[in-house]
Amino acid sequence: MSALIQAQGLTILRPGGHETVLQDVDFRIAPGEIVTVVGPNGSGKSSLVRALLGHMPLAAGRVTRRAGLRIGYVPQRMQLDTTIPMTVRRFLSLPRRVSDDMAAQTLVRTGVGGMQSRQLTHLSGGQFQRVLLARALLHDPHLLVLDEPTQGLDQPGIVAFYTLIEDVRRQTGAAVLMVSHDLLVVMRASDRVICLNGHVCCEGTPQHVSTAPEYRALFGTGAEGTLALYRHRHDHDHDQGAPCSRASSAGAR
């Protein structure tokens, strides 16, 4: 199947043009895939995403986006001007107006139904992320791009958010490109993981990447925990509603 976005030989330089941020990176994402980019701080994850979206000048290489591709983007950071009141409803109509019905339905879908009249500044971190996701979903994207969407959320909030992303993928068939530091839950949600550190260190299924020496060299002993959780098999029954005691719910399948 043809890729939604394909990139070849991407090279990006820091402003000034002397230091390399990304060197010779190839990338592709197919319809319906969940691809997660992991890597240490400053490894070029956000730069890769911005280059794929066409928001970053390339020193070399090229990016091809499928004709008519609709992308829903949840940025890494969004500065809210606390001096300007803004309701959730109004925010959802920026930059393109959507109907009240559509706004209400999409908020329900992302687990923040009925919050139209709330001020953005009065939302919790988890609620705000869900509103950002709702906004990204409004125009029926083929591809959702999420740059560290769970920053600042606690562990249950992270798991709930990624479960929601999996539901969205199942319901809409949209592909998902995520940048994340949350290695424990990343391993569960992704079809493919790309480990980045200025270049692609390793890439493949979560199992393949979590055992790759390049990945372990970057993430050290933390990688062991990731692997253990990812391999958890749900081989026992629970009483209804009882929590799983053998492994974190982040890793349980």
Ligand X SMILES: Nc1ncnc2c1ncn2[C@@H]1O[C@H](COP(=O)(O)OP(=O)(O)OP(=O)(O)O)[C@@H](O)[C@H]1O
Q: Which residues bind ligand X (CB under 6 A)?
A: 14-15, 21, 39, 41-47
Q: How far is the CB of 114 from ligand X (least distance, A)?
A: 33
H/E stretch holding 26 reads strand 20-29
Cα angle 103-190-132, degrees, rounded to a multiple of 5: 20
Centroid of chain to Cα 73: 9
Q: How far is the CB of 161 from ligand X (least distance, A)?
A: 18
Q: How far is the CB of 249 from ligand X (least distance, A)?
A: 25
Beta strands 200-204; 192-196: pairing state: antiparallel
Token representation of residue 179: 């940048």
Nearer to ligand X, 15 or 95 (CB): 15
Nearer to ligand X, 41 or 79 (CB): 41
Nearer to ligand X, 44 or 251 (CB): 44
Residue with tokens 């560290």: 148
Token representation of residue 216: 């372990």
Residue 172 CA: distances (Å) to CA of 128, 175, 186: 22, 9, 20
Nearer to ligand X, 115 or 179 (CB): 179
Residue with tokens 């066409």: 54
Q: How far apart are CA 51 and CA 15, in angstroms?
A: 14
Q: Residue 70 phi/psi, 5° resolution? A: -100, 125
User: Exposure pattern of 171-181 as b/e (b: 16+ CB <10 Å)?
Assistant: ebebbbbbbbe
Q: How far is the CB of 39 from ligand X (least distance, A)?
A: 5
Nearer to ligand X, 29 or 51 (CB): 51
Q: How far is the CB of 172 from ligand X (least distance, A)?
A: 26
Q: How far is the CB of 183 from ligand X (least distance, A)?
A: 13
- Which DSSP state fits 250? T
Q: Are 143 and 70 within 8 A, CB to CB? A: yes
Nearer to ligand X, 76 or 172 (CB): 76
